[in-house]
Amino acid sequence: MDAVKDHSVKLIFFTREQLQGQRLARVVAGHLLCGAEEMHVRKSPDEPGKHIVSITFVSLVEPKRGEEFGQIHVEEVSLNQATVDKIEIASARTQRGRYCIMAGCPFVLPVEF
């Protein structure tokens, strides 16, 4: 199995400190979702001046009939430059922004990735 390559990106609109540990609302199957996942931002080991912005997703799969245990899936997804450039600050001036703020997501990605 090949390792997934991390995307090294330039932080143009936000600093590492602004994004680190913040929750990111995003569009999933056409619906705005504010999950518990926090963004992680670290310096790129390969490209000076660039960063790796990622989100770790955790999902639970119920046990199948007759089985005692389900499964836990953990996946870290690195965001590419086009995706990072679309991140916006949630604004109380819009319905979407108010929802994000109430849900504890100060940032929003208004498109699916």
For residue 12, count other CB atoms closer than 10 A to its CB.
8
Phi-psi region of 30 (alpha: psi -120 to 50; beta: other; left: phi over 0): left
- Please state the pTM of the whole predicted model: 0.79
User: 3-class DSSP state for residue 13?
Assistant: coil
Q: State the alpha helices, DSSP H only, in the chain.
A: 16-19, 81-84, 95-102
- The per-residue pLDDT for range 56-108, each reduced to its tens digit, is 888 788 888 998 888 888 888 899 999 999 999 999 998 888 999 999 999 99
Which residue, among 15, 7, 10, has the nearest Cα to 89 in the 3D structure?
15
